[in-house]
Amino acid sequence: MVAGSGVIRMANRLAVVTGASTGIGFELATLAAKDGCDLIVVADEPLIAAAADDFRQFGTKVEAVEADLATIEGGNSLLSAAQGREIDILVANAGVGTGGAFLDQDVAAWRHSIDTNITGTVYLLQRVLQRMVMRGQGQVLVTGSIAGYIPGSFNAVYNATKAFVDNFTEALRNELKDTGVTVTCLMPGVTDTHFFARADMLDTRVGQQSDKADPAEVASPHVVKAIAPLAQGRSVVMASDFRRTVSPDTGPYFHHIGIYAYQRASLERFV
């Protein structure tokens, strides 16, 4: 057992973590490395090489891939890095925000968010899950968001993409419930990462919120559920302001009105 993880070391298993250079993805990859998984870590920035060095301190094999998962070519370069080895665990965490008024955004900016958060995620899930289902085993964790249940003014495209991810992941979980493959959706709330700076949202109330969740806190309870045999495909919600673990029976639909009112106020920009 690994201290703090609660799962058996997973030597000789291969985990792929996207968006692993910082934030929640970095913390999820750290946990997988601590649990003995070999890693392929991916991000669209050179910082992924330094992150890979951090993961190697746990004595596991780590391959760093710098790739733009908004493109099919980027997804293929990630898959090629496995060199024919079966992927046992996929953590699909990569995502891009698009803060600001929608009418002021460049087409390239909002399209990159859609292509990363939706197209790239769907492509990677299909390719990896096809192999997992053939083998009758595998674990997938997808980073969604409580933002997917909220019309997000001044972050409209991002929230809409997360609505897709939350919905799509829940549907896949149901489709694959008898295959031996588990699919879990991690739905963070407001988390202290580089997301807000990258999405040009530092001038929003949510961007300046002082009590954001620690990414390690968001990651640690739920990566275990996703990769442990006891996961059984449960949906998981981790919201920094609305913490609740949701069972397969109840589904992820919770506190819509309260969250909407909170987030609507949070997204208002300081003038």
Residue numbers annotated as active site: 158
Q: Is 189 helix (H, G, I), strand (E, B) or coil?
A: coil
Kindly provide the b/e burial profile for residues 213-234, where b requires at least 16 CB atoms within 10 angstroms of the residue's own CB.
bebebbbbebbbbbbbeebebb
Return d(Cα 256, Cα 146) in angstroms, integer. Answer: 10
Return d(Cα 163, Cα 172) in angstroms, integer. Answer: 14
Place of tokens 């330094």: 50
Place of tokens 């968006």: 19
Asked if 206 and 263 touch (Cβ cutoff 8 Å), the reply is: yes
Would you give the end-to-end CA distance of the chain in angstroms?
52
Please list, in sequence order, all residues whose beta carbon lies within 8 angstroms of the beta carbon of residue 57, skipping any fewer than 6 positions away: none
Q: Are strands 14-18 and 89-92 parallel, antiparallel or unpaired?
A: parallel
For residue 249, with 0-12 CB atoms within 10 Å meaning exposed, 13-18 middle and 19 or more buried, which class applies?
Answer: exposed
